[in-house]
């Protein structure tokens, strides 16, 4: 899965990159500075689009030669026709979305396959802080205090599986990983993922 | 656009440049304009910077705004006190890198900086056209630029770039000659001129027409309508700035005085600035050209050029990649107009990048030296350039 040329990519992005078929049409929602899209464009010859709200990040992406639109993902996504993309990627952004249900539906409308990754709030470190110290959790993956966090949705890997049954979408692949937010190294967590993994990554599609 | 031209302190420049001329559409092969009128011969003044590749695929066409000209970069002579109007963007190693690209910039049809316009002599009468000059449109301007490129042996454009009315020409090019355009960079512009834009232009035109020296456009042998044209320019300058820019630049500061003069001299710095800009402008610009060119901008409505009237339909003729840029404090071509454009391009299935640059200087921001804008343009052009070499 992890080849030599993706070793500079953050670990969770390496996992996502390994799922993308070469030559596909990919949209990255909340694409940040375009690390993943840039990698995929260079190594997998994808046709990319990114959406990002921060001017500085958008400018960084465009300066790298990526096609990126500055805007709000919930608004920008509405302009695309059904099945425009092979993959729609929402990387570590779901926990910050106001209307996740609508967004998931929209993502599955414009793309054949959807990749969602999010920090796992079921991790033992978080559980421990709430249970033993009685405080809102602060971890390397979720470094914010309760008053300045952009993360308004608290979900775990188990929650997302439950969500798939309720909203009725298909989970094609799922990987739980233990990795730092900025880390190039990490490992896949197979044993007790909801307790031991820091991130969940899902490949989903319409049923 | 304003005159912000300053020397590049880095000394980085395309160096000495020369204005050239190309004449075509000699009778009886006159060009037929959108208005159905025939015009010919037509002369287009242009400049080029950089070197044309053997494959002729490194061409960037720069389109100027309302009162610009073909002199986009470099100096005419060693004693020249000012470089071209976009010297901060065009040059070796700059946003539009003349070490890599062959840059062409032409004065618009209807202009007064060397291209055929109302002050040109009508060969049929031996006198300046004046009000007998036919109405021109953005599409007509683009037709003359196409003729120039044919003459230069260029049949593909790596990119087109321009702000304001230059941006209108960029968009027009992309849908009028889609096979020629690989990419397009419309800056601080719109798919259709707004009521606000038309309103300011109309007030400016009325100022010229109301000047007794205007004499129905026939003033080339007598006194020129300088008062009217300078008022028109003053109005323009207000629209190029912003509330914030004026507050920062002038506030309520007085010009060379401690107290009010209690007369109609320029008390405030902002008044003095506008008067100065107006007076400077009349030295270099023709009032009739101003009338014709502003009308061309007012007529611009890209979607109207498709029977469906749909922006999506009209863009679907194009094959280009786009980079759209707007500026937060631009109230002449506000960001929502760029967003409308981006939406139409997106829905037509083309690749488009969009960035709204935080800038306090209003519409003029596109002309000012900005690292952000430079990097956007540079990165985008490189990516298009690399794509054709894949």
Q: With a cut of 80, say whether residue A7 has pLDDT above it.
A: no
DSSP collapsed to 3 states, A9-40: CCHHHHHHHHHCCCCCEEEEECCCCCHHHHHH
For residue A61, how far is the Cα from the chain centroid?
18
Nearest-CB residue to A67 (from B349, B351, B376): B351
Q: Name the pLDDT band for B8 (thresholds 50, 70, 90).
A: low
Please, which pLDDT band fits residue A142 given cuts at 50, 70 and 90? confident
Confidence of residue A185 (pLDDT cuts 50, 70, 90): confident
| pLDDT, tens digit, 9 for 90 and up, residues A153-163 | 889 999 999 99
The yes-or-no verdict on residue B113 having pLDDT over 70 is yes
Q: B327 contacts in A (CB within 8 Å)?
A: none
Residues A15 and A26: their CA atoms lie apart, in Å, by: 15
Indicate if the pLDDT at residue B154 is higher than 60.
yes
- Using CA atoms, how far apart are residues B89 and B13, in angstroms rounded to an integer? 10
CATH superfamily label, B20-192+301-387: Alpha/Beta hydrolase fold, catalytic domain (3.40.50.1820)
Q: What was the pLDDT predicted at A4?
A: 47
> Nearest Cα to B238, choosing from B203, B191, B262?
B203
Contacts of A55 (CB under 8 A, 6+ apart): A70, B355, B356, B357, B358
Helices A35-44 and A11-19, axial angle in degrees (round to 10): 40
pLDDT tens per residue, range B60-97: 999 999 999 999 999 999 888 899 999 999 999 999 99
Mean per-residue pLDDT of chain A: 91
Distance CA B71, CA A111 (A): 47
Indicate if B289 belongs to the active site.
Answer: no
Architecture of the domain delimited by A4-121+154-206 = 3-Layer(aba) Sandwich (3.40)
Distance CA B55, CA B33 (A): 32
B10 pLDDT exceeds 80?
no
Q: What is the pLDDT of residue A130?
A: 87
Mean pLDDT of B271-285: 97
Provide the CA B141 distance to its chain's centre, in angstroms.
Answer: 11
In the annotation, is B97 catalytic?
no
Identify the weakest region by mean pLDDT among A24-33, A126-135, B203-212, B332-341: A126-135
Torsion over CA of B237, B225, B296 and B75, rounded to 10 degrees?
-60
The pLDDT of B214-228, averaged and rounded, is 97
In this prediction, residue B6 carries a pLDDT of: 57
Cα–Cα distance for residue pair B233/B209, rounded to 1 Å = 14
When mean pLDDT is compared across A57-71, A131-145, B144-158, B183-197, the lowest value belongs to A131-145
Query: Is residue A4 within 8 Å of residue A28, measured between CB atoms?
Result: no
Q: Tell me: pLDDT of B16 over 50.
A: yes
Question: Hey, are the CB atoms on B375 and A59 less than 8 Å from each other?
Answer: yes
Query: For B240-274, b where at least 16 C-beta lie within 10 A, e where not — what string?
Result: bbbeebbeeebeeebbeeeeeeeeeebbbbbbbbb
Q: Which residues contact B155 (CB under 8 A, 6 or more apart)?
A: B56, B149, B180
A82-104 mean pLDDT: 94
The residues in A 36-75 lying below 8 A from B, measured between CB atoms, are 47, 49, 55, 58-59, 61-71
pLDDT reported for residue A181: 59
Q: Is the pLDDT of residue B342 over 90?
A: yes
SS3 A171: strand
Which sequence spans correspond to the domains of chain B? 20-192+301-387
B363 counts as catalytic = yes
Residue B189, pLDDT above cutoff 80: yes
Catalytic residue among B87, B97, B330, B364: B330
Q: Return the pLDDT at A182.
A: 60
Gap between the Cα atoms of A37 and A13, Å rounded: 10
d(CA B323, CA B368) in angstroms, rounded, equals 18
pLDDT above 50 for A1:
no
């Amino acid at each position: 899965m992890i080849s030599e040329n993706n070793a500079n990519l953050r670990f969770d992005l390496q996992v996502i990159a390994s799922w993308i078929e070469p030559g596909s049409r990919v949209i990255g929602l909340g694409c940040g500075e375009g690390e993943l899209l840039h990698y995929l464009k260079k190594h997998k010859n994808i046709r990319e689009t990114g959406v990002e709200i921060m001017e500085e990040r958008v400018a960084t992406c465009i300066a790298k030669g990526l096609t990126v639109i500055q805007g709000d993902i919930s608004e920008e996504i509405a302009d695309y026709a059904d099945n425009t993309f092979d993959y729609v990627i929402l990387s570590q952004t779901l926990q910050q979305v106001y209307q996740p249900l609508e967004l998931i539906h929209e993502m599955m409308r414009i793309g054949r396959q959807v990749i969602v990754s999010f920090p796992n709030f079921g991790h033992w470190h978080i559980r421990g802080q709430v249970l033993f110290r009685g405080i809102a959790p602060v971890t390397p993956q979720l470094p914010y205090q309760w008053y300045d966090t952009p993360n308004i949705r608290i979900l775990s890997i188990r929650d997302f599986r439950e969500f798939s049954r309720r909203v009725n979408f298909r989970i094609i692949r799922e990987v739980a990983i233990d990795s730092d937010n900025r880390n190039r190294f990490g490992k896949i967590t197979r044993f007790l993922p909801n307790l031991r993994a820091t991130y969940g990554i899902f490949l989903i599609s319409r049923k | 656009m304003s005159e912000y031209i300053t020397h590049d302190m880095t000394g980085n420049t395309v160096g000495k440049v020369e204005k050239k001329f190309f004449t075509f559409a000699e009778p009886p092969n006159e060009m037929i304009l959108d208005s159905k009128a025939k015009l010919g011969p037509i002369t287009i003044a242009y400049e080029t910077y950089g070197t044309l590749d053997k494959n002729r695929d490194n061409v960037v066409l720069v389109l100027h705004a309302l009162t610009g000209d073909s002199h986009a970069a470099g100096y005419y002579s060693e004693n020249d006190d000012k470089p071209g109007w976009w010297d901060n963007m065009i040059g070796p190693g700059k946003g539009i890198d003349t070490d890599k690209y062959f840059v062409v910039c032409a004065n618009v049809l209807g202009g007064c900086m060397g291209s055929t316009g109302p002050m040109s002599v009508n060969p049929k009468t031996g006198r300046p056209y004046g009000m007998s000059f036919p109405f021109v449109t953005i599409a007509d301007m683009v037709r003359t630029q196409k003729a120039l490129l044919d003459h230069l042996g260029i049949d593909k454009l790596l990119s087109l770039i321009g702000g304001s009315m230059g941006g209108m020409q960029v968009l027009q090019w992309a849908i009028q000659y889609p096979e020629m355009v690989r990419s397009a960079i419309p800056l601080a512009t719109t798919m259709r001129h707004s009521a606000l834009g038309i309103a300011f232009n109309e007030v400016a035109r009325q100022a010229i027409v109301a000047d007794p020296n205007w004499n129905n456009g026939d003033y080339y042998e007598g006194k020129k309508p300088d008062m009217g044209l300078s008022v028109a320019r003053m109005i323009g300058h207000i629209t190029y700035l912003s509330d914030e820019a004026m507050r920062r630049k002038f506030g309520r500061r007085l010009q060379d005085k401690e107290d009010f003069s209690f007369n109609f001299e320029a008390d405030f710095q902002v008044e003095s600035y506008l008067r100065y800009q107006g007076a400077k402008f009349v030295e270099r610009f023709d009032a009739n050209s101003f009338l014709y060119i502003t009308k061309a901008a007012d007529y611009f409505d890209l979607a109207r050029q498709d029977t469906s009237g749909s922006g999506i339909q009209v863009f679907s003729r194009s094959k280009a990649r786009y980079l759209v840029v707007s500026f937060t404090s631009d109230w002449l071509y506000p960001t929502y107009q760029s967003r409308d454009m981006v939406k139409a391009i997106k829905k037509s299935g083309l690749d488009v990048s969009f960035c709204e640059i935080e800038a306090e200087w209003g519409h003029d921001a596109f002309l000012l030296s900005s690292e952000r804008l430079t990097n956007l343009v540079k990165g985008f052009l490189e990516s298009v350039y690399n794509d054709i070499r894949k």
